[in-house]
């Protein structure tokens, strides 16, 4: 599959869902969308997603993309991707007369930039938000890479039995996992409890996680310096990190 199509799938199926983290954990956005009931579509060609707000609740849908209060339309998938990468791309907007909703949505989409590798929040609450969003997005993206047909990821998943790859940020409640089994994959949030992990990547608090996400140190150095502790097969942890770096490259 074309790289931009794969990137678009990651944006719609892995990046957009972490908007829920923003709405739950960031006080400003939680208040901003507390009483919003609306459907905002972001699309290009036949690809896209609907951001569905329901008085504080949130979900992403992929059907009925013609039904929306506001629609951001792009002439190509690459332009949509570049817009979501933070580049200057102007979409065609339907529903721009709904000024309040439009402004709120633009602010919310802009909040996703916190996951960019060059963004270094100083406040603890913003560090927490960045780390949580980034690892939720990463584990979902790993599964989506397999589902969408990335050849390398499919080969990697196909040769493995039932295995759990667990990511934990110590001294926080942040945890996410990837489960693979003979070609299939599934991501999840929290600690997987029904099976012992094949690999656990334990990051040394928010600062350890930030060092890895910001690539202040390479993965092997991060392990050597105590930013990351690997429980299980270190070579597979390194392979998983390589895929996460690929995902980062496609979405930034």
Domain-wise residue ranges, the chain: 3-115, 124-251
The CB density around residue 236, as the number of other CB atoms within 10 Å, is 16
User: Buried (b) or exposed (e) across 93-132, using 16+ Cβ within 10 A?
Assistant: eebeebeebbebbeebbebbebbbeeeeeeeeeebbbbbb
Q: Say which residues have a Cβ less than 8 Å from residue 180's Cβ, sequence separation at least 6.
A: 146, 157, 160, 162, 163, 165
Query: What integer pLDDT is reported at residue 45 of this predicted model?
Result: 87
pLDDT tens digits for 87-97? Answer: 999 999 999 88
The structure's pTM equals 0.93
pLDDT tens digits for 235-248? Answer: 999 999 899 988 98
pLDDT beyond 80 at 109:
yes
Give ∠ CA 233-242-203 in degrees, rounded to 5.
60
Q: Say which residues have a Cβ less than 8 Å from residue 63's Cβ, sequence separation at least 6.
A: 50
Chain position carrying tokens 């092997």: 220
pLDDT band with cut points at 50, 70 and 90 for residue 220: confident
Instruction: Give the chain's largest Cα–Cα span.
Output: 55
Query: What integer pLDDT is reported at residue 206 of this predicted model?
Result: 95
pLDDT beyond 90 at 218:
no
Fold of 3-115: Nonspecific Lipid-transfer Protein; Chain A (3.30.1050)
Q: Say which residues have a Cβ less than 8 Å from residue 99's Cβ, sequence separation at least 6.
A: none
pLDDT beyond 80 at 1:
no
Is residue 129 within 8 Å of 25, Cβ to Cβ?
yes
Query: What integer pLDDT is reported at residue 44 of this predicted model?
Result: 96
130-157 average pLDDT score: 94
Q: Fold match between 3-115 and 124-251? A: yes
β-pair partners for 72: 42, 93
**124-251 maps to which CATH number?**
3.30.1050.10
Chain position carrying tokens 């916190």: 114
């Amino acid at each position: 599959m074309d790289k931009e199509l794969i990137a678009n799938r990651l944006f719609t199926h892995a990046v957009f869902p972490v908007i829920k983290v923003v709405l739950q954990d960031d006080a400003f956005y939680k208040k901003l969308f507390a009483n919003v009931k609306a459907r905002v579509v972001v699309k290009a060609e036949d690809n896209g997603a609907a951001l569905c707000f329901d008085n504080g609740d949130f979900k992403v849908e992929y059907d009925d993309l013609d039904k929306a209060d506001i629609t951001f339309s792009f002439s190509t998938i690459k332009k949509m991707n570049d817009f979501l990468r933070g580049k200057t791309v102007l979409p065609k907007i339907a529903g721009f007369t709904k000024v309040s909703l439009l402004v709120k949505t633009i602010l919310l989409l802009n909040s996703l930039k916190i996951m960019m590798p060059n963004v270094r929040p100083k406040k603890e609450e913003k560090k927490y938000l960045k780390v949580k969003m980034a690892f939720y997005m990463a584990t979902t993206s790993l599964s989506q890479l397999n589902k969408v047909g990335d050849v390398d990821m499919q080969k990697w998943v196909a040769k493995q039995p039932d295995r759990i790859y667990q990511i934990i940020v110590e001294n926080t409640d942040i945890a996410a996992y990837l489960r693979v089994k003979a070609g299939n994959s599934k991501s999840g949030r929290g600690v997987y409890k029904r099976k012992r992990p094949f690999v656990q990547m334990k990051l040394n608090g928010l600062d350890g996680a930030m060092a890895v996400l910001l690539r202040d140190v390479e993965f092997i150095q991060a392990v050597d310096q105590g930013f990351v502790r690997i429980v299980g097969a270190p070579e597979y942890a390194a392979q998983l990190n390589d895929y996460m770096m690929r995902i980062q490259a496609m979405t930034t």
